[in-house]
Structures are given as structure tokens and as C-alpha cells.
Amino acid sequence: MSADSHQSDELIRPTGPWVDLSIYAVPPNAGGRAVTRTLWYFTSLLLFESGWFIASGIKVRLLRLFGAQVGRGVVIKPHVRIKFPWRLVVGDHVWIGQDVWLDNLATVAIGSHVCVSQGAYFCTGGHDYRRVTFDLVTREITIADGAWVGAFARVMGGVTIGANAIVAAGSVVTRDVSPAEIVGGNPA
């Protein structure tokens, strides 16, 4: 590389950080319900995120108490983390495996007869890296009936996984998955 081309590269690259986190502000109503959030935090720590074996029926009733819409026959294993139950919709006969994290700043809607395997992570929030204020961006996730999200898969905001689709273990899903499609890899 010549000295001239190196200098021209320096001219087009910004110096310093592209964002200024000192001016970041949590958006109004990012989670809402301050008292409910506090109560949920402790309930979640004790009964959902802990390793204690608490019957799924009790967990379902607690989720409903905190505003989740949860169907019949739902199985929730230990160490499950749900950020905001009032932004969760779960159909009938759903399995949510151990160590699943539903990071639902926006709605996560899971259809009926869905298996979310252990260690899966659903991320509905991110940041607008193009803005100096690093604004929070949230997008919903929808998992249609009969789908299977494999162990340690990552599903990003704005994604819909179609009916009877399969996401292979360890995959990173950044775009929609068609019904009955099998995807894997990074990106899936």
C-alpha cells in the first residue's frame, strides 16, 4: 500500500466514536409498570431463573398474573428468563427448554405445539448504530404453530418463523423462515 492511498483512507474515516453513549436516554415506557417490573424481577429470580423445579402450571399461572397470554399444556423448564411477561403470547402445548432467554422488549408471540429448545435466545431489542444517540430499536418475534427452535439458536427481532419450520441448533436467525423450511448456520 502506498503512502498516498493510506493518507486518503484516513481522510474518509471518522475519528473518535460514532456514538455518544453519554447522551443515550432510555425511551419512555421502555418496560412500563415500575412496580410490576420490580415484583416480576424478584418473582423471576426466585421461581423462573433459579434451578428449583417449580411445576410448569405454577409458572403459567404466575405469567398470566403478570399479563402474559399463555395457553394450555405449556411446559417451562428451570432457568428460563422472560424480560416482560406482559409482552408474551404463548399458544397451547408449548415447550420452553432450560436456559431459554426471551428478551422481549417487544412482543414475542409463540404459536401452539412449538418447541423452544434449551439455551435459545430471542432478542427483540437493538440499537440504531447510525444515530449518535444509539436509539433503542425494538421489533417483534413471531414463531408460528408447530415450529422448532433448536438448542442455543438465536432469533433476532423482526423475524417470523413459519409454521412447522425448523431452526437447527446453534443457528442465528436474522430474517424470516418460510413455513416447513429447515434452516441452519450463521446466518440461518
Helix (H), strand (E) at residue 56: helix 56-65
CA atoms of 75 and 165, how far apart (whole Å): 20
Q: How far is CA 176 from the centre of its chain?
A: 15
Judge whether 127 counts as a catalytic residue.
yes
Measured distance CA(99)–CA(156) in Å, rounded: 17
Cβ-based neighbours of 85, under 8 Å, separated by 6 or more: 40, 63, 66, 67, 68
Q: Which of 6, 93, 113, 127 is catalytic?
A: 127
Q: Is the separation of the CB atoms in 18 and 11 below 8 Å? A: no
Paired sense of beta strands 136-138 and 125-127, if any: antiparallel
Active site residues: 127
